[in-house]
Amino acid sequence: MRQIYFSIFFFLLSCDVAAQDTILRFYRPFIVSETQQPLKIKAEYGGDCWRQSQRIVREDAMQCDVDGTRYDPCFVQAFNAQQQILCIDSPRASEAIQINASAPLDTQSYKTLDMSRTLPWAVELHDGDFCLSTDSKEMFDGLPVHYQCEHGMVLIGSVQRCVAEWKILAHNARGISTAYIATAWF
């Protein structure tokens, strides 16, 4: 009887250890915190920001063009004259491009962030692989490719948010598997 109790105890313990909540992070380019390092401005340009970001749906994220180069996402500081915009490659980046708009931007018609429905800008998987959203129109087995990971894997289909530990389908040279999301940046 004692052996059955120990078996049940260790089974429950292993389930508890394996399941971890996905950490949700709201990226703030204009604020320094313990989870976000200060950004170094590596270049400053004048440019046009003309539509909402295609990589992250937030009211302060947009696409900008500078001399034929498109930057996405770029973030506008909401409580200033809305003319200083920072373009960042990833939430892990330490450098940004600053764009100075010639006139204040109107972002009132932009869709607002809904973390329960919007795809994250980037995710870190439980195995440590970092994956960044892509604007590729690539499909795999009828599912859209949403993320490109550091080690060549792609994440496809929808993010499953039914439980506290989010997951998504992953495709690499070995085939399709389930990837568990440790951290999601919005």
Per-residue pLDDT reduced to its tens digit, 30-43: 888 887 778 999 99
Euclidean distance between CA atoms 49 and 29, whole angstroms: 17
> Mean pLDDT across the chain, nearest whole number?
87
- Residue type at position 124: E
Query: Which of left, alpha, beta for 174 (phi over 0: left; psi -120 to 50: alpha)?
Result: alpha
- What integer pLDDT is reported at residue 138 of this predicted model? 93
Reduced to 3 states (helix: H, G, I; strand: E, B; else coil), residue 92 is coil
pLDDT of 136 over the 60 cut: yes
- What integer pLDDT is reported at residue 168 of this predicted model? 98
Euclidean distance between CA atoms 46 and 99, whole angstroms: 5
In degrees rounded to 5, what are phi and psi of residue 14?
A: -65, -35
- What integer pLDDT is reported at residue 82 of this predicted model? 65
pLDDT digits (tens, 9 = 90+) for 43-55: 999 988 889 999 9
Task: Mark 55-72 as b/e (b = at least 16 C-beta within 10 Å).
Answer: bbbbebbbbbbbeeeebb
